[in-house]
Amino acid sequence: MTTKILCFAGSLRRDSLNKKLVKIGMKAAESAGAEVTYLDLKDLPLPVYDGDIEAESGLPENAKKLKEIMLAHHGLLIAAPEYNSSISGALKNAIDWASRPGEGEPPLSLACFAGKVAALLAASPGGYGGLRGLTHVRSILGNIKVIVIPEQYVLAQAHQAFNEDGSLKDSKVDQAVQGVAKRLVEVTSRLHA
C-alpha cells in the first residue's frame, strides 16, 4: 500500500515562507516513496468555526472537502507559522472544522485525525523560527489522536533563506527539512502497512 501524505501550510498568504518550506518537505516525502498531495488552505475558504452555523446548516462545503482530502491520507506534513507565539488562526480554524463529525460519523470520532501521523515544520523571519507556535500545534494534534513524530524543523530568519526559485540557500537546512519529511514517510509507512 502506498503511503499518502498531505502537505500544507497553516498560512493563507500567497508568498508564505511556510508554503515554501512545506513544498521542500513535500518533494522529499515524494522521493521517499510517498504519494503526496499539496493543499493550499486559501483554496478552501472557511468561516470561523461557529457551532450555530454547524447546527443550522451542517458542515460548510469547503469543510466537507477538507475532511474528504484529509481522510484520503495517512500522514500530514504541516508547516505552521507562529502568530503571536501561538498557532495561526487559519490552521486552528481548519483543524476545528475538520474535527467536526460528518454525516454518519460518531460524535468525537475525530475521523480526520485519529491514527494519522504528523510532522511539523515552521518558518519565521524571527530568531525563534516559529518554535513557540509548534509547541501549541503539537499539543493540539496530540489531543485529537494524531501521532506527532518528535523530529521537526524550525527555520529562523526565513525571509533570507530561500532562493528566487523557492529552493533553500543552505544545503544543511535543506537536508534537515528533507530528513523530517523522510522520517514522516518512514513512520507512517510502518504504522499503516
pLDDT digits (tens, 9 = 90+) for 13-39: 999 999 999 999 999 999 999 999 999
Give me 81's grid cell. 507559522
pLDDT for 192 beyond 90: no
CA dihedral (31, 1, 185, 63) in degrees, to 10, reads 100
* d(C-alpha 170, C-alpha 163), whole Å: 10
If pLDDT is split at 50, 70 and 90, which confidence band does 11 have?
Answer: very high
C-alpha cell at 30: 515524494
How many folded domains does the chain comprise? Answer: 1
Q: State which residues form the domain around 45.
A: 4-191
Do residues 113 and 146 touch, judged by C-beta distance below 8 A?
A: yes
User: 111: helix, coil or strand?
Assistant: coil
**CATH at 151:** 3.40.50.360
pLDDT tens-digit readout, 34-87:
999 999 999 999 999 999 999 999 999 999 999 999 999 999 999 999 999 999
